[in-house]
Amino acid sequence: MSNIKKRVLGGLFGPAFIDALQSFIAIGFAIVASLVTGLMLAESQATLAQNQGLLLLFPAAIGLRGNVFGPFASRLSTAMRAGTFSWNWSSDSLLGQNVSAVIGLSFVASVAVGFIAKLVAELTITTADVISLQSFITVSVVSAAIATFALLGITLLMATLSTRLNWDLDNVTAPVVTASGDLITFPALLLGVFLFNRTNLAIVVDVVGILVTLILGYLLFTTQHKVVKRITVESLPVLLTAGIVSLLAGIIIEGSSQSLGIYAVFLIALPGYLTVAGSLGGILANRLSTKFHLGLIKANPIPTGEARADIGLTFAIAVPIFGVLAVVSHLFASASSATTPGLGWILVVIATGGVAATVFVSILAYYGTIVVVRFGLDPDNHGIPMVSASLDLVGSATLMASLGLWGII
């Protein structure tokens, strides 16, 4: 890929035009995909109300996919840029070890988050009976089984296409993986609800799922493959921490579901809003991680050079993309006859919350990456989970705060 790129605004803010264009296209796809998820979310209000705790699990289950496969794609991108990547599928190859690690981590983290979600639900939801632990496990196992292999295929397809199209994988990974996770995981959650209402079938699913998870967990921690072991040891604590943070976001969403229902357009926009915020953070974290690996960025207290350019790129994309989200959300709401306060208020609310979320993600991605590097850890394994989980929480909070600030709810 050529290093000579046309600069936006004559290079005033540094971001390269081609990078911004690639990211804008990827996030545009993510918005449409996430709004489809939002429509499913709005249409499933009755099911969610009947199954208390399921909405709490929603951001954690979806976020987990991006937190597993986003770093996977980031590691592939780094290997491609460093010239160490090859399509070698042997179990001891770089690609083979990465595939083994992400499959195992996806199942282990999903089941663990299911257990934690039940505990959090019991502590925080007092208005109705919470679904059973078995139900949480069923939903987690089903979503893991469906989403893991689907997203594995999507991520590898992206790697192939980015090579052929000469696109930078760092610019498109986070939005596409996150949006695909939205589209795949939410229907999988509803399938889990269908199954746990059929007790005998749910028991079979749980037994098989937990057995598979235990076997995969054992293999992850006893493997002799160094790449698998490093990814597991570095990633699992981050994934579980990210899952807990996302569950806190779920508490905000669960507690605000009735308020969001006043204007259903914001319930439709919610997955897209979280996706855009998380995608911006994921793109920034990926780019910073790759450039730290290549020695293009130094851990300075104040961002300089390439780091400042990447932060500028984040804001250059954020301003128009949140506007696009508002307009498309309004169109989706109008087409589905969902309640809305009008396009003007939707723009104001989403823009206000979006700017606040972008400021947060820029600070977190840069300084979080510096901390990870200084501890001698691989930022590819930590950047996206750290940012996306925080954005689940901060994104939910900024949207609700913006709605309150402008007196919408």
Predicted pLDDT of residue 101: 94
Average pLDDT over residues 14-34: 76
> How far is residue 277's CA from residue 362's CA, in Å, rounded to a whole number?
10
The answer as to whether 327 is a domain residue is yes
> How far is residue 239's CA from residue 336's CA, in Å, rounded to a whole number?
36
Average pLDDT over residues 397-409: 86
Question: pLDDT tier at 123 (50, 70, 90 boundaries)?
Answer: confident
> How far is residue 144's CA from residue 107's CA, in Å, rounded to a whole number?
6
Least confident of 223-227, 283-287, 345-349: 283-287
> How far is residue 82's CA from residue 80's CA, in Å, rounded to a whole number?
5
Average pLDDT over residues 156-171: 81
Average pLDDT over residues 154-178: 81
The answer as to whether 243 is a domain residue is yes
338 vs 1, more confident: 338
Average pLDDT, the chain: 82
Average pLDDT over residues 364-391: 78
Q: In this structure, which amino acid lies at residue 59? A: P
For residue 299, give both structure tokens: 């851990």
> How far is residue 286's CA from residue 74's CA, in Å, rounded to a whole number?
6
Centre a 10 Å sphere on the Cβ of residue 337 and count the other Cβ atoms it contains: 8
86 vs 409, more confident: 86
Strongest mean pLDDT among 132-136, 160-164, 230-234: 230-234
Q: What is the pLDDT of residues 389-399, one digit of tens each?
A: 677 778 878 88
Residue % of the chain over a pLDDT of 90? 17
Question: pLDDT tier at 159 (50, 70, 90 boundaries)?
Answer: confident
Predicted pLDDT of residue 166: 79
Q: How many residues does the chain have?
A: 409
Predicted pLDDT of residue 219: 93
> How far is residue 236's CA from residue 105's CA, in Å, rounded to a whole number?
7
Average pLDDT over residues 203-229: 90
For the cut 50, the answer to whether the pLDDT of residue 8 exceeds it is no
Q: Check: CB of residue 103 under 8 Å from CB of residue 216.
A: yes
Least confident of 70-74, 89-93, 156-160, 351-355: 70-74
404 phi, psi to nearest 5 deg: -70, -40
Predicted pLDDT of residue 238: 84
C-beta contacts of 252-258 below 8 A and 24+ residues apart: 252/393, 252/396, 252/397, 252/400, 253/55, 253/56, 253/58, 253/59, 253/396, 254/53, 254/55, 254/56, 254/124, 254/125, 256/396, 256/400, 257/45, 257/48, 257/49, 257/55
What's the burial of 211, exposed, middle or buried (CB within 10 Å: 0-12/13-18/19+)?
Answer: exposed
Q: Check: CB of residue 380 under 8 Å from CB of residue 74.
A: yes
* Bridge partners of residue 130, in order along the sequence: 52
Where helices occur in 263-304 by DSSP H, the ranges are: 264-293
Helices (runs of H) and strands (runs of E) counted in the chain:
12, 0
Strongest mean pLDDT among 64-73, 220-229, 243-252: 220-229
Predicted pLDDT of residue 100: 94
Strongest mean pLDDT among 58-62, 77-81, 360-364: 360-364
Domain that holds residue 399: 8-405
Predicted pLDDT of residue 322: 93
The answer as to whether 176 is a domain residue is yes
For the cut 90, the answer to whether the pLDDT of residue 120 exceeds it is no
What's the burial of 84, exposed, middle or buried (CB within 10 Å: 0-12/13-18/19+)?
Answer: exposed
The answer as to whether 3 is a domain residue is no
The answer as to whether 2 is a domain residue is no
Residue % of the chain over a pLDDT of 70? 92
Please state the domain count of the chain: 1
> How far is residue 164's CA from residue 159's CA, in Å, rounded to a whole number?
9
> How far is residue 307's CA from residue 235's CA, in Å, rounded to a whole number?
24
Q: Assign residue 302 a region (left: φ > 0; alpha: ψ between -120 and 50; beta: otherwise).
A: beta
For the cut 80, the answer to whether the pLDDT of residue 343 exceeds it is yes
